[in-house]
A and B are shown apart, each in its own frame.
Chain A
Amino acid sequence: MLDISSIKKQFPIFQHQPDLVYFDSTATSLKPKIVIDKIKEYYEEYSANVFRGIYPMYEKATEEFEETRSIVSEFINANKSEEIVFTRNATESLNLLAYSLGRKIIGSGDEIVTTIMEHHSNFVPWQVLAGEVGAVFKVVNINDEGYLEKNWNGIITKKTKILALTYVSNVLGTINPIKEIIEAVKKINPNVIVIVDAAQAVPHMKMDVQDLDSDFVVFSSHKMLGPTGVGVLWGKEKYLKEMYPFMYGGDMIDEVYIDRTTYKDPPHKFEAGTPAIGEVIAFKEAINFLNKVGIENIRDHEKKITNFAINKLKDTFGKSIKIYGPKNIEDRGGIISFSFGKFHPHDIAQILADSGVCVRAGHHCAMPLHTCLNVSATVRASFYIYNDESDVSRLVEGLKKVKKILK
């Protein structure tokens, strides 16, 4: 059991806004003091660049920066820390893959497979790439309960080069059985490279990239209590070595001549230019925080609160609320997207905001999924370690107010 009130004390935002009910951690999480303090420490005490100077402050900054890489590596059980590439966010990690891997291996007539439940960042880069090189862009559908169709035999062929899919849907909350999917897919074609968008998974549940046997996994620091401006690309070393660089410039080159350039080994090959140093350094404090709370405890807490919220919403509003996604709580992350009566999601979110409850309204960067659900927008409430049952009650009261105001 998480002690929510003691956790909340470690997030300064609740001192500034004591009545805040924050249900939008799927968009970005709140930040604990320990993370904010670490950013300040870097800027106040050793704000040098990394990998270049030979004075003590530079060494301290580089050590702190590289320590985060090791901690990330351990957190997701990577084989070695050289497999961890820092980007700006999960979106950039996916775009990096579309450029550096996709443009290397995909040709005319090849197939790229993704799913209808993807965030635009794991959909559009592949759609555009397929269009550019004349590849086939295949989209796996979902059933009525928000599960992916299981017929991989009908989807994966000898021509499939890449399967890019999400671990947890940012709208439906569906937790895809990634390990089973990878097994099934590689049985059909062992050469398919599997890319997992784990932006909604790594902050909330145990991630073991070796056990999963995925080829690439991407996620963002800012959704897991860390600073904005830091994303992670984990990839198997053999692929990282073969891939094209992403951007060219400082820190990523080995030697430059008038007629040619050689590049550093991964991960530095993909980290051109000065990175978000303070933010990367502070990211490790977010992971330390998550480790202290315990990732299994976080998952348990989210299951409980999600279950409580679904039941409470259904008991209170009956058929006037429609909740999307799996009914089985074991298959669902801490995300509830819903439609409420005939009310427009923007009006619902606005009235909830007036009561201090922050939810998201819109298509949540998943327009193909909303088209498939036959709605233009939904309301989304998502949970994390600072939410408890009293927050859910505030949501329910807020929805009663929506009904009262808009009738």
Chain B
Amino acid sequence: MNIYQDIILDHYHHPHNKGKIDNPDKTIQVKNPLCGDVIEMTVLFDRNKVKEIKFSSEGCVISQASTSMLTDYAKNKSKQELKKLDSKFIIKMLGIDLGMNRIKCAVLPLEALHKLL
């Protein structure tokens, strides 16, 4: 199956939640040195829930689209809920069949999100 589906490309070309929160509760940067992907993520909590989340990144289509979709999903979710997410969730969220090597690109934003919680 072609991984470059319209929905993936749409998130890549027009990413949601791109940018930086002015007064974030926490900021984190994660890297995948093998391909040079970098994601910086900022978050603002409302008590136990994600109120706002934004990112800036450099990377491939998969990592960009995955970050865009994951930050959409994370809004208004509780920390406990988000801590439970794993790579299986990411694959389901993207809806594409990723090989062993590309899965690392897809789960990089999850690593960032978990570090923010």
Taking A344-B61, A350-B102 as contacts, is the C-beta distance between A377 and B36 under 8 angstroms?
yes
Secondary structure type dominating chain B contacts? loop
Secondary structure type dominating chain A contacts? helix
Taking A344-B61, A406-B61 as contacts, is the C-beta distance between A350 and B3 under 8 angstroms?
yes
Taking A344-B61, A407-B13 as contacts, is the C-beta distance between A361 and B35 under 8 angstroms?
yes
Whether B21 sits at the interface, judged by CB under 8 Å, is no
Docked-complex contact B4 and A362, CB < 8 angstroms: no
Which residues of B are in contact with A by a Cβ distance under 8 Å? 2-4, 9, 12-13, 33-37, 58-62, 102, 105
Whether A299 sits at the interface, judged by CB under 8 Å, is no
Collect the chain B residues with CB atoms within 8 Å of residue A367's CB. Answer: 33
Minimal beta-carbon separation of A27 from chain B (angstroms): 13
Give residues of chain A (356-407) contacting chain B, Cβ–Cβ below 8 Å.
Answer: 361-363, 367, 370, 375-377, 405-407
Which residues of A are in contact with B by a Cβ distance under 8 Å? 344-347, 350-351, 354, 361-363, 367, 370, 375-377, 405-407
27 A–B contact pairs at CB < 8 A? Answer: A344-B35, A344-B60, A344-B61, A346-B35, A346-B62, A346-B102, A346-B105, A347-B4, A347-B61, A347-B62, A350-B3, A350-B102, A354-B2, A362-B35, A363-B33, A363-B36, A367-B33, A370-B36, A375-B36, A376-B35, A376-B37, A377-B36, A405-B4, A406-B4, A406-B9, A406-B61, A407-B13
Q: How far is the CA of A363 from the CA of B36 in the complex (A)?
A: 8
Most chain A CB within a 10 A radius of its CB, from B9, B60, B62? B60
Collect the chain A residues with CB atoms within 8 Å of residue B60's CB. Answer: 344-347
Most chain B CB within a 10 A radius of its CB, from A345, A350, A361, A377? A350
Q: A350-B3, A362-B34 given; name 20 further pairs at CB < 8 Å.
A: A344-B60, A344-B61, A345-B35, A346-B60, A346-B102, A346-B105, A347-B60, A347-B61, A347-B62, A351-B4, A354-B2, A361-B35, A363-B34, A363-B36, A370-B36, A375-B36, A405-B4, A406-B4, A406-B12, A407-B13
Q: How far is the CA of A365 from the CA of B102 in the complex (A)?
A: 18
Q: How far is the CA of A376 from the CA of B13 in the complex (A)?
A: 21
